[in-house]
Chain A
């Protein structure tokens, strides 16, 4: 699509701003000043003051001598940027991409926007009259490149709208300053007698580069359209974003449900058409009293399935406090991923961890009890029981090694081994009895020991000698002695698990 840009130049940005706030200043010449190296310098002058000879960059004492009755106001650093940002945000209805052109301009990327306002002429007229009606003196121009629009807005004399492809011709007669060049380069151009763009635009690039540096070529390229110019928009619009303003504030859960459904339908239709699905979504509710409520959901797999996403949000509705009412709902998809086309096929029944039903169930559970509560284990290549399993990072992760069955392992494992009192006949023999939680268990059968060494490169301590024992009631336990037999010194025996 043919790119089109509008550049807007605020000729008296700061002074206009003050005039709007204090209309009595309309007929008075006044300036803004800032102290600079011990002198008070003018930073901006209004139209009247400028007509009488005061200009930005002049010491205020000189200006006062030239202009009788000159009023002086203190300026503030960054006021122009703040003003431009405010105006730019107000202009967001004209185009989504608005960038600030420091120190006194705005650039609109209006590619594909103008026809909504009835053509380019009507569009530009609308923008200018609207801003002018606010009280700002502006000049604007429209061209194929941001650089050309900038130049025409500030230095153009003939027409404001340069038809597509005509910007080179329009730039020819403009002064060199129209190219947004550094002062040093401008000085050098002036010294060489190059006052207009047409006097050097056809020179070989190598010559220009040698004499004036890369900067000139870049700016020239940006104005003529063969170098890219990246605009930094005021608002980076989230790529997947839906808003629902409400005529009446919403206060009930049913209302919130309807809002969520509407937003999801709109967002998911778009996601589906682009072949994407959301992984993480956030619902922001703006309340009448100015407070903001947010809820967030995550899914195990990118999806655009509205009923499923709605179920995830449904769990969170209880956490939204509408108070006096919610007037605006905003739904954002924070993490969007491509959905593999087989998703539709998966909706039909397949079994296993890839099953859509299981994934949706886990999403719902994660929404209520927390994703960290859902665990799946894979074998880990360690003999040490506590380290012999590891948490799976995803549902799709497969075991890298087989589960071992060559050693007996208890079906119940205590999180930490608990000390037990035992009586063992001789060292390295399974105990005859042990007392656990005040209950005496006489051991009838025993297997072992299975010695498991502690992995010294991970932690330090004694090895364990595990015994698989059965008491007189047939209950089976996993006991171990920590370290070598050490006589009567200390309690070395622990219970670590229960066999089936």
Chain B
């Protein structure tokens, strides 16, 4: 009796996870977004698509880092020929830069709304459209109920939503599966080399529903994410020394 109840609870939990966008891992371990250890922080070790992710980007520098990071993810999410929407009020995203993060900028449709309240309406409408691969929205204010509406929309359509919160004072509890913060990190170059290196970020998962929050340093190089751990750094340094010798 005890064991069956446990099984039932497990089963129900799995179903809830599925509804929230957490899928069981694919048998051949494909379908990842190349985020490495970050994906392990989510339940089942799979990055939840068909869910709402919240990103904090209160400063322009952080928004820029978000732009790069999200473009890297979108590049993996957007299948051949599919499109995504970028909804914002005062947009500063520069489309040509997205190309270097692996997406065709002409397949991003920008919606520049004029009123704050239209952003959430447009986002909800867009999330209902299953023909899109993802929707990015820059939102200042979103309350619990509004986030719930977005979640209901994605449960139907399986579109992934990325919400960039631009106002720190209006941050409230909501239903998003994860809260991220992407902050730029100093790039690292080989010793003695001048210039600026590959984009490098501190990727923080502040909240994950049913998962483990954490922080990682990631770098975008050669059309993919690399997670920088102290060991990797050391190995790289060592190889460089060997090369020099």
Residue A499 interfacial (CB < 8 Å): yes
Q: How far is the CA of A380 from the CA of B211 in the complex (A)?
A: 44
Verify A498–B61 contact, CB threshold 8 A: yes
Nearest Cβ distance between residue A243 and chain B, in whole angstroms?
31
Verify B106–A377 contact, CB threshold 8 A: yes
Residue A232 interfacial (CB < 8 Å): no
Residue A357 interfacial (CB < 8 Å): yes
Residues of A within 8 A of B63 (CB): 412, 498
Verify B99–A497 contact, CB threshold 8 A: no
Verify B196–A469 contact, CB threshold 8 A: yes
Main secondary structure of the interface of A (DSSP, over half): mixed
Residue B189 interfacial (CB < 8 Å): yes
Verify A411–B64 contact, CB threshold 8 A: yes
Q: Mark B200-243, 1 if CB is under 8 A from A, else 0.
A: 11000000000000000000100000000000000000000000
Residue A104 interfacial (CB < 8 Å): no
Verify A369–B114 contact, CB threshold 8 A: yes
Q: How far is the CA of A447 from the CA of B189 in the complex (A)?
A: 12
Nearest Cβ distance between residue A464 and chain B, in whole angstroms?
15
Given A389-B96, A412-B92, A470-B196, CB of A375 within 8 Å of CB of B110: yes
Given A403-B96, A409-B100, CB of A361 within 8 Å of CB of B129: yes
Given A352-B82, A357-B130, CB of A446 within 8 Å of CB of B195: yes
Residues of B within 8 A of A474 (CB): 183-187, 200
Nearest Cβ distance between residue A47 and chain B, in whole angstroms?
69
- Nearest chain B residue, comparing its CB with the CB of A499: B64
Q: How far is the CA of A350 from the CA of B184 in the complex (A)?
A: 37
Verify B94–A409 contact, CB threshold 8 A: yes
Q: Mark A379-413, 1 if CB is under 8 A from B, else 0.
A: 10000010011001000001100011100111111
CB within 8 Å of B: which A429-477 residues:
444-447, 468-470, 472-476
- Interface size range on B against A: 35 or more
Verify A412–B60 contact, CB threshold 8 A: yes
CB within 8 Å of A: which B112-142 residues:
112-114, 118, 121-122, 125-126, 128-133
Residue A368 interfacial (CB < 8 Å): yes
Residue B95 interfacial (CB < 8 Å): yes
Residue B79 interfacial (CB < 8 Å): yes
Verify B112–A375 contact, CB threshold 8 A: yes
Residue A351 interfacial (CB < 8 Å): yes
Nearest Cβ distance between residue A174 and chain B, in whole angstroms?
69
Residue B35 interfacial (CB < 8 Å): no
- Nearest chain A residue, comparing its CB with the CB of B63: A412
CB within 8 Å of B: which A404-432 residues:
404-405, 408-415
- Nearest chain B residue, comparing its CB with the CB of A391: B110
Residues of B within 8 A of A412 (CB): 60, 63-64, 67, 92-94
CB within 8 Å of A: which B73-114 residues:
79-83, 92-101, 104-114
Residue B199 interfacial (CB < 8 Å): yes
Verify A361–B184 contact, CB threshold 8 A: no
Verify B199–A376 contact, CB threshold 8 A: no
* Among candidates A349, A351, A398, A445, residue contacting B195 with C-beta atoms closer than 8 Å: A445
Residue B24 interfacial (CB < 8 Å): no
Q: How far is the CA of A364 from the CA of B194 in the complex (A)?
A: 51
Residues of B within 8 A of A473 (CB): 61, 184, 186
Nearest Cβ distance between residue A367 and chain B, in whole angstroms?
10
Residue A40 interfacial (CB < 8 Å): no
Residue B52 interfacial (CB < 8 Å): no
Nearest Cβ distance between residue A234 and chain B, in whole angstroms?
44
Residues of B within 8 A of A410 (CB): 64, 94, 97
* Among candidates B79, B98, B112, residue contacting A373 with C-beta atoms closer than 8 Å: B112
Verify B109–A375 contact, CB threshold 8 A: yes
- Nearest chain B residue, comparing its CB with the CB of A356: B131
Given A351-B79, A374-B111, A410-B97, CB of A369 within 8 Å of CB of B64: no
Verify B106–A376 contact, CB threshold 8 A: yes
Nearest Cβ distance between residue A365 and chain B, in whole angstroms?
6
Verify B187–A353 contact, CB threshold 8 A: no
Residue B177 interfacial (CB < 8 Å): no
Residue B22 interfacial (CB < 8 Å): no
Q: How far is the CA of A408 from the CA of B68 in the complex (A)?
A: 12
Residues of A within 8 A of B194 (CB): 445-447
Nearest Cβ distance between residue B78 and chain A, in whole angstroms?
9
Q: How far is the CA of A350 from the CA of B5 in the complex (A)?
A: 43
Q: How far is the CA of A351 from the CA of B201 in the complex (A)?
A: 32
Verify B64–A476 contact, CB threshold 8 A: yes
Verify A357–B129 contact, CB threshold 8 A: yes
Q: How far is the CA of A364 from the CA of B127 in the complex (A)?
A: 13
Nearest Cβ distance between residue A319 and chain B, in whole angstroms?
15
Q: Mark A337-363, 1 if CB is under 8 A from B, else 0.
A: 000000000000111110111101110
Residues of A within 8 A of B220 (CB): 500
Q: Which of A365, A414, A469: most chain B Cβ within 10 A?
A: A365
Q: Which of B71, B83, B96, B130: most chain A Cβ within 10 A?
A: B96
Nearest Cβ distance between residue B154 and chain A, in whole angstroms?
14
CB within 8 Å of A: which B38-72 residues:
60-61, 63-65, 67-69, 71
Residue B37 interfacial (CB < 8 Å): no
Nearest Cβ distance between residue B243 and chain A, in whole angstroms?
21
Given A358-B132, A447-B196, A500-B199, CB of A415 within 8 Å of CB of B92: yes
Verify A357–B110 contact, CB threshold 8 A: no
Verify B68–A500 contact, CB threshold 8 A: yes
Residues of A within 8 A of B189 (CB): 445
Verify A392–B96 contact, CB threshold 8 A: no
Nearest Cβ distance between residue A411 and chain B, in whole angstroms?
4
Residues of B within 8 A of A385 (CB): 94
Residues of A within 8 A of B67 (CB): 411-412, 500
Residue A280 interfacial (CB < 8 Å): no
Verify B83–A399 contact, CB threshold 8 A: no
Q: How far is the CA of A392 from the CA of B122 in the complex (A)?
A: 21
Residue B31 interfacial (CB < 8 Å): no
Nearest Cβ distance between residue B53 and chain A, in whole angstroms?
17
Residue A170 interfacial (CB < 8 Å): no
Residues of A within 8 A of B25 (CB): none
* Among candidates B61, B99, B112, residue contacting A405 with C-beta atoms closer than 8 Å: B99
Residues of B within 8 A of A388 (CB): 96
Closest 9 CB pairs of A and B: A500-B68, A357-B131, A498-B64, A411-B67, A413-B94, A352-B81, A474-B186, A351-B82, A403-B99
Query: Chain A: residues with CB nearer than 8 A to chain B?
Result: 349-353, 355-358, 360-362, 364-365, 368-370, 373-379, 385, 388-389, 392, 398-399, 403-405, 408-415, 444-447, 468-470, 472-476, 497-500
Contact sample, A vs B, 16 pairs, CB 8 Å cutoff: A361-B131, A374-B109, A374-B111, A389-B94, A403-B96, A403-B104, A405-B99, A412-B63, A447-B196, A469-B196, A473-B184, A476-B199, A498-B61, A500-B71, A500-B199, A500-B220
